[in-house]
Amino acid sequence: MIQPLCSCALSDALWKGDVGGSAHTVAMTTVSLSIDHILQSFFRKMRAGPAVDDRERFIRVEPQLRRCLNAEAERILPADKRTIYNAEREFDPQGAFARTMAASELIVAFLVFLEERWLLPDERDQRMQLNVVRTIAGALERSSLLDAVALAPQFRALYARLNRLGVELDRAHRWW
């Protein structure tokens, strides 16, 4: 079974000090940060900490995820969010999805990122990819960055895919 990268309780503490993204007021119960902000915070803090044993593998996941977000944005986004995305692409196409979308879109994007075509080639890199997704998704689910209840079907689908891929990797490893 693929375990999260860190046993610490990652949640709002992961993004603490990073509030001030696309919408932040004292009266809000949900803070909105861009995917770009979430990923920068996560990867910066995880690279700085002792939680990751294999830093080379960990570092390969972020560019692959960002390539996926750039390539699959039209497929991931509902029609009502494509207008914002397309306007941002006019200014700078590279990273437009991550700059304009929030945590709820990241959960949907993770489902695409775990499709075979986006899995990293090496089995150990794939395990790290699953760990990163599980860790970020778990932190987001416990955070105030999204409505986890409203996204429960997406979280169930994501965790099911993570578990299935973990089992497949375990099976493939046993045959060596």
Kindly state whether residue 80 falls inside one of the protein's structural domains. Answer: yes
Rounded distance between C-alpha atoms, residue 123 and residue 137, angstroms: 21
Kindly state whether residue 13 falls inside one of the protein's structural domains. Answer: no
Q: Of 28, 57, 61, whose CA–CA distance to 146 is shortest?
A: 28
Rounded distance between C-alpha atoms, residue 81 and residue 99, angstroms: 13
The string of pLDDT tens digits covering residues 72-106 is 999 999 999 999 999 999 999 999 999 999 999 99
- β-partners of residue 141 are none
Contact predicate 4/135, CB 8 Å = yes
Kindly state whether residue 12 falls inside one of the protein's structural domains. Answer: no
Q: How many domains does the chain have?
A: 1
Output the pTM of the full model. Answer: 0.81
125's CB contacts (< 8 A; 6+ apart) are 57, 60, 61
Kindly state whether residue 78 falls inside one of the protein's structural domains. Answer: yes
Rounded distance between C-alpha atoms, residue 170 and residue 176, angstroms: 10
In order of 77, 115, 138, 163, the CA distances from 1 in angstroms are 30, 18, 15, 7
| pLDDT of 44 strictly over 80 | yes
The string of pLDDT tens digits covering residues 1-21 is 444 554 333 444 454 544 444
Overall residue count recorded for the chain in this entry: 176
Kindly state whether residue 162 falls inside one of the protein's structural domains. Answer: yes
Kindly state whether residue 5 falls inside one of the protein's structural domains. Answer: no
Residue 127 structural domain: 33-174
